[in-house]
C-alpha cells in the first residue's frame, strides 16, 4: 500500500509485516523473459515509461484529456526487452485521467496511499529473482499466470513454458499456482499433479452476465463440478464470500457450497479500499449497509476467517491480517 507493487522493497515490507506467502504476477517481455507485473499492459500506470524514450513502444500512445474524453495510454512489457524494462522506474499504480501532459498523467495516486517511498527508485524483479528473494525471506510462493494481452503462442512461447519453480528446485508443496483460466488450472492438475494439488482457480465466472455468488443457477460450474475436476483451492474477492443477515456478516451461498464440496477458499484483498466511512466501495459491496467505519475491517476479517473459513487472505498491508491472526493464534 505504500511501495510500488511487485518490487523488492514492497515484498520485503510485506515479509516484515508477517506475510508468509508472497505473490509474483507473471508476464513476459519481448525477449521472453518472465517478470513480475500485475498485468502485461500496465506499464503506463505502474512505471515512468511515458516520460522516457520507450514511450514510442506503447501500443496506444499517450492521448491527453480533451472535453469529456479522459487521458489514456497502453504500454506492454511484451513490446520491450528485459534490458529496456530495467531502465524504467517503478511507481504507485495510478494515472491522472484529467491530465493534458504525459508527465501529469503519471500522477493520480490515491490520497490514502503515498508516493513517499517512490522518491527513491524501487527495484523491479524478474520471476526468477522473486523466487530467490521470497526464499531468502522465508516465505512461500503464489505466482499468478496472467492472461496475455497478445496472441499465444508468442514468438514460439506458450503458457506451458512457465516452469521456473521446477528448474530452480522449489518443492511443489511451497507453491500455490494461480490462474483465472480454468484450463490453466486443469493443465497443472493433469500434467503437473504435484503442483496441481495446490493450484488455485481464481474463478472468472463473474464475467458472465447475471452471475451472482448468491444464486447457484447462474454458475457455469457447481462447486462439486470443480472438485470433481481435481480443483482443491478456489479464490474469490472478499465481497462474494459474504452477505448480510439481520445486519450480521454471514457466508454467501457460494462460500457455503464451496465448503460443503470440500474446497479450500482464499480471498482478496484487504487494505485496498481507503477509508470505510462511506460504504467501502467495490470490495465491501455486499456489506455496504453496515460499512460505516474502519473498524468494520476487523469484523469482515473475522467473518471470513471464522464463518467462511478461508485458509488465506491477500492483503496490501499484511500487518492488518497478521495482527488478527496473532490475536487468535492462527497461521
**pLDDT computed for residue 139 by the predictor:** 98
Buried b (16+ CB within 10 A) or exposed e, 53-63: ebbebbeeebe
Domains of the chain: 42-118 (no CATH), 171-328 (3.20.20.190)
**Chain centroid, CA 265 distance in Å:** 15
**pLDDT computed for residue 131 by the predictor:** 98
Residue 116: Cβ within 10 Å count:
10
Rounded CA-CA distance 18/142 in Å is 15
For the chain, what is the mean pLDDT?
A: 95
**Residues 214-228, mean pLDDT to the nearest whole number:** 96
Is a pLDDT exceeding 90 seen at residue 207?
A: no
For the chain, give the percent of residues with pLDDT over 90. 89
- What's the pLDDT tens digit per position in 116-152? 877 677 899 999 999 999 999 999 999 999 999 999 9
Is a pLDDT exceeding 80 seen at residue 309?
A: yes
Buried b (16+ CB within 10 A) or exposed e, 201-226: bbbebbeeeeeebeeeeebeeebeeb
Rounded CA-CA distance 65/49 in Å is 18
**pLDDT computed for residue 279 by the predictor:** 94
Confidence bin at 226 (pLDDT 50/70/90): very high
**Residues 46-54, mean pLDDT to the nearest whole number:** 97
Is a pLDDT exceeding 70 seen at residue 289?
A: yes
**pLDDT computed for residue 119 by the predictor:** 63
- What's the pLDDT tens digit per position in 142-191? 999 999 999 999 999 988 888 899 999 999 999 999 999 999 999 999 99
DSSP string of 288-305, one letter each residue: GGG--STTHHHHHHHIII
**Chain centroid, CA 32 distance in Å:** 22
**pLDDT computed for residue 44 by the predictor:** 98
**pLDDT computed for residue 116 by the predictor:** 82
Q: Which residue spans within the chain are E strands per DSSP?
A: 21-22, 25-28, 34-36, 60-63, 72-74, 140-141, 144-145, 178-179, 200-201, 233-237, 242-245, 248-251, 264-270, 312-315
**pLDDT computed for residue 162 by the predictor:** 80
**pLDDT computed for residue 102 by the predictor:** 97
- What's the pLDDT tens digit per position in 240-282? 999 999 999 999 999 999 999 999 999 999 999 989 999 999 9
**Residues 29-57, mean pLDDT to the nearest whole number:** 97
Amino acid at each position: 500500500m505504500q511501495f510500488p507493487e511487485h518490487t523488492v522493497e514492497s515484498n520485503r515490507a510485506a515479509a516484515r509485516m508477517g506475510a508468509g506467502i508472497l505473490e509474483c504476477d507473471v508476464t513476459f517481455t519481448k525477449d521472453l523473459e518472465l517478470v513480475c507485473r500485475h498485468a502485461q499492459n500496465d506499464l503506463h500506470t505502474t512505471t515512468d515509461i511515458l516520460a522516457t524514450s520507450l514511450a514510442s513502444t506503447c501500443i496506444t500512445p499517450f492521448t491527453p484529456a480533451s472535453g469529456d474524453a479522459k487521458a489514456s495510454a497502453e504500454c506492454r512489457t511484451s513490446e520491450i526487452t528485459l534490458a529496456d524494462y530495467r531502465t524504467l522506474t517503478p511507481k504507485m499504480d495510478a494515472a491522472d485521467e484529467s491530465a493534458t501532459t504525459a508527465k501529469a498523467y503519471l500522477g493520480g495516486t490515491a490520497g490514502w496511499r503515498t508516493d513517499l517511498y517512490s522518491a527513491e527508485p524501487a527495484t523491479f524483479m524478474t520471476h526468477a529473482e522473486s523466487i530467490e528473494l521470497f526464499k531468502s525471506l522465508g516465505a512461500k510462493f503464489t505466482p499468478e499466470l496472467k492472461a496475455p494481452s497478445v496472441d499465444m503462442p508468442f514468438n514460439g512461447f506458450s503458457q506451458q513454458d512457465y516452469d521456473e519453480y521446477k528448474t530452480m528446485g522449489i518443492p511443489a508443496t511451497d507453491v500455490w499456482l494461480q490462474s483465472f483460466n480454468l484450463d490453466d488450472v486443469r493443465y497443472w492438475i493433469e500434467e503437473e499433479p504435484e503442483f496441481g494439488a495446490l493450484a488455485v482457480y481464481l474463478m472468472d465466472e463473474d464475467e458472465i452476465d447475471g452471475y451472482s455468488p448468491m444464486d447457484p443457477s447462474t454458475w457455469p460450474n457447481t462447486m462439486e463440478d470443480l472438485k470433481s475436476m481435481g480443483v482443491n483451492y478456489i479464490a474469490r474477492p472478499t465481497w462474494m464470500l459474504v452477505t448480510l443477515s439481520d445486519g450480521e456478516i454471514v457466508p454467501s451461498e457460494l462460500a457455503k457450497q464451496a465448503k460443503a464440496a470440500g474446497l479450500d477458499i482464499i480471498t482478496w484483498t484487504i487494505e485496498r479500499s481507503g477509508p470505510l466511512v462511506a460504504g467501502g466501495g467495490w470490495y465491501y459491496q455486499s456489506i455496504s449497509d453496515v460499512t460505516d467505519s474502519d473498524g468494520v475491517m476487523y469484523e469482515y476479517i473475522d467473518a471470513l476467517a471464522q464463518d467462511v473459513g478461508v485458509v488465506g487472505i491477500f492483503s496490501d498491508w499484511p500487518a492488518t491480517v497478521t495482527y488478527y491472526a496473532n490475536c487468535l493464534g492462527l497461521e
